[in-house]
Amino acid sequence: MTVECDSVAFADEASLGIYRSSDYGERLFCRVCGSSLVWRMQDGSAHALALQALDDQSGIALTSEIFIDEKPSFYAFANETRKMTGAEFIAAVTGEGA
């Protein structure tokens, strides 16, 4: 799970790795332990911080789901959320039509 952010900054980027996971996105991870930390657009226009990277998760609400067309049929959240297919999400972050 991730939290959408306007930007993300790290106090020490020496242990930060970057993996370009698509033509538009990349994943930032810890080179020491391998933990996934952030997904972001390569142009910096969107960021999603991994929840496990936060010490305090209070006040965070699950409001949207992406790639719902690829989730297992038994996987569902109890609350109502905004749902986007993979194509809808990619169109939203790249500005290209679905």
The rounded average pLDDT for each run of 10 residues, N- to C-terminus, in the chain (98 residues) is 82 91 92 92 88 87 90 91 91 76
Q: What is the CA radius of gyration of the chain?
A: 14
Q: pLDDT at position 2, please?
A: 85
| Full-model pTM | 0.74
Count of the separate structural domains present in the chain: 2
Q: What CATH code is carried by the domain that includes residue 49?
A: 2.170.150.70
Burial class (CB in 10 A: 0-12, 13-18, 19+), 61: exposed
Q: Residue 61 contacts by C-beta under 8 Å, 6 or more apart in sequence?
A: none
**Nearest in space to 37 (alpha carbons), one of 2, 86, 72:** 2
Place of tokens 């989730």: 71
Domain shared by 78 and 98, yes or no: yes
Q: Residue 27 contacts by C-beta under 8 Å, 6 or more apart in sequence?
A: 18, 19, 21, 36, 38, 39
Structure tokens at 8: 């993300």
Domain shared by 49 and 65, yes or no: no
Q: pLDDT at position 60, please?
A: 86
Domain shared by 33 and 73, yes or no: no
Domain shared by 66 and 96, yes or no: yes
Give the range of the structural domain holding residue 74, as residue numbers without chain letter.
61-98
Domain shared by 68 and 35, yes or no: no
